[in-house]
Amino acid sequence: MEQLMRDFFLFLSKNKTLTKLAKRYGLRFGASRFVAGETIERAVDVIKELNRKGLAVTIDYLGEFVDNEQEANEMANHSIEAIRAIGENKLNSQLSLKMTSMGLDISDELVMKNMRRILDEAKAHGVFVTIDMEDYSRCQKTIDIFKQLKKEYDNVGTVLQAYLYRTEKDIEDLNAYHPNLRLVKGAYKESPEVAFPDKKDVDENFKKVIKMHLLNGNYTAVATHDDAIIEYTKQLVKEHNIPNDQFEFQMLYGIRPERQEQLVREGYTMRVYVPYGTDWYGYFMRRLAERPANVAFVLKGILKK
């Protein structure tokens, strides 16, 4: 049943008609729990409140299905606007973005032009930028772009997904770049030809790549809501005397906020992934796909209205 629900919401996440409707009708039906708002001003207010609680942030202007140059340039402008807001408000925040929103599916030249514009601005304001990983078909291209940018900029990292078979090799391959990586389980529907179909195998691979990357001496963001993975990481760093400034935990805005604050009290860096913008629909559907408890929360919210 859980797998059926997951597949259903992942299917809905790719529906362009529903995406357009969602843009038109705003953050209704519980989406505001997971999305900070539609404007940078609203997002800044949310970040200030999170920072006040000792939480670090990474902010992401949501955008999907970008298929023309003008829209890709506009998405880059939104990222630059977010970087300036971080700098001007002295926020403890980084920036996350997707390559497809910068023009990945249009041309290499366009995506590199937009990424350099963003990273130049980020460098000026002391902001770190993480390139989100998308579905498997774009994985190699994203890694290739990251390698190129890492040769030019220090303030850029990327994401690797534990459910892919290739990730262990990617960790080995990227070690030469001393990368700052966010490690995640993975949230896209992938073929068993490229990804572990069973959760237990994904969990084991997640632990393996966390250990590899940390023991390589590289900065590691462990992005998970899973207590077993959090406890594994705590034990690992203790066992190998890895300092707290070599890693952090990351969670999504609106999911397990009490746990997030608890990790801060325990002395860990805890970064909250805060998305904002009008194009929230696909992101929201993937959050519902990930955890059935999220669906129950949203239904409760709708019934109360």
- Of 76, 21, 1, which Cα lies nearest the Cα of 285? 21
In this predicted structure, the answer to whether residue 220 has a pLDDT above a threshold of 50 is yes
Taking only the tens place, the pLDDT of each residue in 77-104 is 999 999 999 999 999 999 999 999 999 9
Q: Report how far residue 92's alpha carbon sits from residue 127's, in angstroms, rounded to the nearest whole number.
A: 9
Active site (annotated) includes residue 132:
yes
CB of 268 closer than 8 Å to CB of 249:
yes
Q: Residue 302: pLDDT band by 50, 70, 90 thresholds?
A: very low
pTM flag (> 0.85): yes
Cα torsion 21, 26, 32, 35: sign:
positive
Active site (annotated) includes residue 182:
yes
For residue 86, what pLDDT is reported?
98
> Helix 2-13 vs helix 281-290: angle between axes, to the nearest 10 degrees?
170
Q: Residue 2: pLDDT band by 50, 70, 90 thresholds?
A: low
Q: Report how far residue 76's alpha carbon sits from residue 84's, in angstroms, rounded to the nearest whole number.
A: 13
For residue 276, what pLDDT is reported?
94
For residue 297, what pLDDT is reported?
46
For residue 75, what pLDDT is reported?
96
Q: Which of 218-222, 267-271, 285-289, 301-305 bottoms out in mean pLDDT, i.e. has the lowest?
A: 301-305
For residue 288, what pLDDT is reported?
66
CB of 93 closer than 8 Å to CB of 47:
yes
Long-range CB pairs of 138-143, under 8 A, 24+ apart, other chains included: 138/99, 138/100, 138/104, 139/164, 139/166, 141/99, 141/104, 142/99, 142/104, 143/170, 143/174
Mean pLDDT of the chain: 88
Catalytic: which of 132, 170, 203, 279? 132
Joined together, the tokens standing for residue 224 give 């998970």
Q: Which of 34-43, 121-130, 169-178, 240-249 bottoms out in mean pLDDT, i.e. has the lowest?
A: 34-43
Catalytic: which of 6, 170, 182, 271? 182
CB of 162 closer than 8 Å to CB of 169:
no
CA-CA-CA-CA dihedral for 184, 188, 191, 194, to nearest 10? -30
